Structure 1
Amino acid sequence: MEPKRATVRDLRRQNRSALLSTLYLGGPLSRFELSRLTGLSAATVSKVTGEMVEERLLVEAGQVESDGGRPRVLLRVDPGYGTVVGVDVGETGVKVELFDLGMTRLATVDHPLSAGGSDPERVAELVAEGLRGVLAEAAVDEAAVLGVGVGVPGTVEHGPTPRVHAPTIGWNAVELEKLLRANGIGLPLYFDNGAKTQGVAEMWFGAGRGARHAVIALIGSGVGAAIITDGSTYRGSTSSAGEWGHTTISYGGRQCRCGALGCLEAYVGAAGILDRYRKARGGRAAPGDDERAALGALLQAAGKSRTADTVLEETVGYLGAGIANLINLFNPERIVLGGWAGLALGTELLPRIRAAAQTHALRHPHDQVAIELCELGPDAVAVGAATLPVAALLAQGN
């Protein structure tokens, strides 16, 4: 079968996509710089950017001096061209955020979930309610929204009908898109695993920026990762790659929420850490109304309680060993620790975590890697989810 020949329309879309992507991720830039970076001719760059300026997709952003000639006009993507929504469906709550195209946050709605309250129908209701809330708060018309990205705590099976598999919250092939449509959401919808959306956010705007090979780890109640190889997210054959939390760290060890024994998540996920602490205290849980408060209390007890110190030392060891596995398997330039629990642990214990990783990793790949904290904070999953409709805009070129 002969390969399909590119049409004039295909070529136009490719040119628009190349220029728009380069400007979005690297702008503002002059037309001269765009020609150099994309390999497109000066005439093509001038014609296509002229069209996008007329469409108000691009705007002028000042001037820069040129060598001996007139100053060059800088272009950038117009933040006001449209808005995007990012949704973080977590195990403890649903967060809905509205952004302009410059990823300036315009509005946020948070809905907490009670323990065991991740019923798919209820989650869909909260997403729809949150969407209405952010649009009302920012006084934005739905027609100005380019799309809604949703990050979920599980694997997304992409296809005509996306299905979410998240065994830790009891979801098996949940058709979340249908549930959202049933709640009146008619906007374009995009879905991905929350760790992967966080990965895109950190690669585009945060601690992963500039790296070609990286692992962006998400540590919350559960544990996941986005594996970036040569600038692209590695997905595997069915998009489930990156389930770092369900790699085995201890043969025959603690039971994980997924049902297996010895998973990394059972030792370094917030739920696993707090369960180990509770058992070490003879059944007394850490004080706090929720996991975040309880983990904060555990970290505050460091240096005051031998039990807390032991649990945290073990957690550092397990996390360091898990990071070493990433280093040995993927040889990344950078490993970024994110997620609310990852940030809490990393803020207090990062030097010790780095030392533990060094103990378990092969020397040469370890010496090439930097282990850093997420820069976008606990909103990284929602920011990354909002990049899903942005990525669609960049790929289509309009």
Structure 2
Amino acid sequence: MGVAVHRKLTVRDLRAGNRARVLRALYFDRPLSRQELAGITGLSQASVSTVVAELINDGIVVEAGQVDSDGGRPRVLLRVNPAHAAVVGVDVGETHVLVEVFDLTLRRLAEATLPMEPDVHSADDVARRVLDGLDRCLADSGAGDVLGVGIGVPGQVEQGLVYAQTVGWHGVPLERMLRAGTDLPLFLDNGANTLGQAEVWFGAGRGTGDAVVALIGSGVGASVIADGVLYRGSSGGAGEWGHTTVALDGRPCRCGALGCLEAYIGATGVVSRYRAVEAAVPVEQEAALAALAADDSPAARDVLAETARYTGVGIGNLINLFNPSWVIVGGWAGLLLGPRILDDVRAEAARHALRRPFEQATITLCELGPESVALGAATLPVAEFLAAGGVRRRTAGLVHPGKA
């Protein structure tokens, strides 16, 4: 059995750690004075002043006005400089590729939506759309310095390879394919994970350490945050909630199995059931679900009731497995149907979850809207930038962002 070797921290390590603490405080609790930073970070006033001077000199932090103090001189407020660098977030969805450019504080500067045929996911076509959208958005935004490109994809990511069984990808070298068209740092992760990080950073889960963020679109997945850290499993494949079994020998799923939750609550399955009972259903999936959400006919109510029942069963299972304080339902389909079925989902979850864990869990809708997968993807380069104290590191492939 090996002996653990503990490396002694150097002065450089300590400085980098101090920069990271100050930068994270300013990023999530902006704006702050130097005195407030000392209280939040636990650093001395002298250390805070040194770090702030460095960050201002690097153009990462700027002054943001003054606030009166109790009897003394006004305190200068500080914030992260939005114009220091741009970041890009990409959502490789079921029917489109969405590319968005943000400033460093994640204010949207430009976006492009590139449609794809449903259920047709040629990796070459996806890569072309990502690169095309990247070129368009960077030109439209006028962004110069770019920290990196975060990309939310269906399925599991291992060292730049994507394994997405439902769309026929097994070890697709998406990172290498994108390298042919850009030299920007690339950060690939599962789309449910990027949605989860966005919600925990800025949305309904902000401030919580234990949450499950459920993505319901054409596909279904979940991001599990435990003690503030995203749970990934042994190789990044955790969170495939949509492929848990809810009916033995049940409906066929796109993954090839029978009875998966996705076959019952994913957009493809829900729209298929709606078409079986209603003749005039729009062809496009999103329009079809919007029509269902607005339809008050008995047949539509039956489809919605069944969807709520299976969603509640699935959420009850999540509560029993992970004991989260929050279950946050997002994804474009989840947000379309959520306002109509959420009360029924809660009631069904209560029937299937153990009483005490259910009492401790709040079930709610995502606050950030249907584009939050791309926003979450943009947090991947930002997370690394913050962890490094504002020092640039060029990292490709799957990124483990650490604290959410």
Fold-level similarity (TM above 0.5): yes
Map of 1:289 onto structure 2 = 283
In 1, Cα distance between equivalents of 2:201 and 2:63 = 22
Distance in 2 (alpha carbons) for counterparts of 1:39 and 1:121: 50
Matched, 1:94 2:94: no
Q: Which residue of 2 aligns with 1:11?
A: 14
1:132 counterpart (114, 132, 135): 135
CA distance, structure 1, for counterparts of residue 49 and residue 348 of structure 2: 53
CA distance in 1, matches of 2:161, 2:50: 42
Alpha-carbon contact 2:309-2:348 (below 8 Å) kept: yes
The Cα offsets for residues 204-226 of structure 1, whole Å up to 9 and x where unpaired, read as 11111111111111000010111
Residue 192 of structure 1 corresponds to: 189
Instruction: Report Cα offsets for 1:179-231 as digits up to 9, x if no partner.
Output: 0011x211010010000001111111111111111111100001011111111
Report Cα offsets for 1:295-324 as digits up to 9, x if no partner: 1222222x32x3222221111100011111
- What is the match of residue 258 of structure 1? 255
Q: Distance in 2 between matches of 1:108 and 1:370?
A: 33
8 A Cα contact 2:85 2:147, kept in partner? yes
Q: What percent identity do the matched residue pairs reach?
A: 57
Aligned ranges for residues 32-111 of structure 1 at < 5 Å?
A: 32-111=35-114
Return the match for 1:320 from 293, 307, 312.
312
Instruction: Determine the C-alpha separation between the residues in 1 that align with 2:245 and 2:25.
Output: 40
Letter in 1 for 2:178: L
Task: Give the distance between the partners of 2:34 and 2:84, measured in 1 at CA.
Answer: 20
Query: Would you say 1:165 and 2:163 are equivalent positions?
Result: yes
Query: Where does residue 155 of structure 1 map in the other structure?
Result: 156
Question: What is the CA–CA distance in structure 2 between the aligned matches of 1:107 and 1:213, rounded to whole Å?
Answer: 33
Which amino acid in structure 2 is aligned with residue 378 of structure 1?
Answer: P
1:227 to 224, 227, 235: 224
Q: Is the 8 A contact 2:305 2:341 kept in 1?
A: no
Q: Which residue matches 1:337? A: 329
Q: How far apart, CA to CA, are the structure 1 residues paired with 2:83 and 2:67?
A: 23
| Structure 1 letter corresponding to 2:124 | E
**Gapped regions of structure 2 (runs ≥ 5):** 391-404
Question: Which letter maps to 2:259?
Answer: G
Give the letter aligned to residue 203 of structure 2. G
Distance 2:171 2:40 in 1: 42
The answer on whether the counterparts of 2:156 and 2:164 sit within 8 Å (CA) in structure 1 is yes
Tell me if 1:175 matches 2:173: yes
Note if 1:242 corresponds to 2:245: no
Matched, 1:355 2:343: no
Structure 1: which amino acid aligns with 2:225? I
SS where residue 5 of structure 1 aligns? coil
Offset of 1:278 from its aligned partner? 3.3
RMSD over equivalenced CA pairs, Å: 1.4
Distance 1:243 1:65 in 2: 51
Aligned residue for 2:402? none
Paired amino acid for 1:146? L
- 1:249 Cα deviation from its structure 2 partner: 1.1
Q: Which amino acid aligns with 2:242?
A: G
Aligned pair count reads 387
Q: Distance in 1 between matches of 2:221 and 2:119?
A: 20
For residues 320 and 64 of structure 1, what CA distance do their matches in structure 2 show? 48
The answer on 1:298 being equivalent to 2:292 is yes
Segments of structure 1 that go 5 or more residues without pairing to the other structure are: none
The whole-number CA distance in structure 2 between the counterparts of 1:68 and 1:326 is: 53
Question: Is contact 2:100-2:374 (8 Å) kept?
Answer: yes
For 1:199 and 1:332, locate their aligned partners in 2 and report how far apart those are by CA, in whole Å: 13
Cα pair 2:252 2:263 within 8 Å, conserved:
yes
Q: What is the distance in 2 between the residues matched to 1:361 and 1:249?
A: 14
Aligned counterpart, 1:372: 364
Deviation readout 1:107-148 (Å, 9 max, x if unpaired): 00000101233111111111110011001112223xx11110
Whole-angstrom distance in 2 between the partners of 1:237 and 1:35: 38
Moved more, 372-381 or 24-33: 24-33
Q: Tell me, yes or no, if structure 1 residue 122 matches structure 2 residue 125.
A: yes
Q: CA deviation at 1:68?
A: 3.4
Does 2:299 match 1:307?
yes
Structure 1 range deviating more: 9-18 or 45-54: 9-18
Q: Supply the distance in 2 between the matched residues of 1:31 and 1:138 (Cα, whole angstroms).
A: 33
- Cα distance in 1, alignment partners of residues 92 and 382 from structure 2: 19
Q: Per-residue deviation at 1:269?
A: 0.4
CA distance in structure 2 between the aligned counterparts of 1:376 and 1:85, rounded to whole angstroms: 17
Separation of aligned partners in 1, 2:346 and 2:67: 42
Aligned to 1:346: 338
In the TM superposition, residue 280 of structure 1 has moved relative to its aligned partner by 4.8
Distance 2:135 2:88 in 1: 11
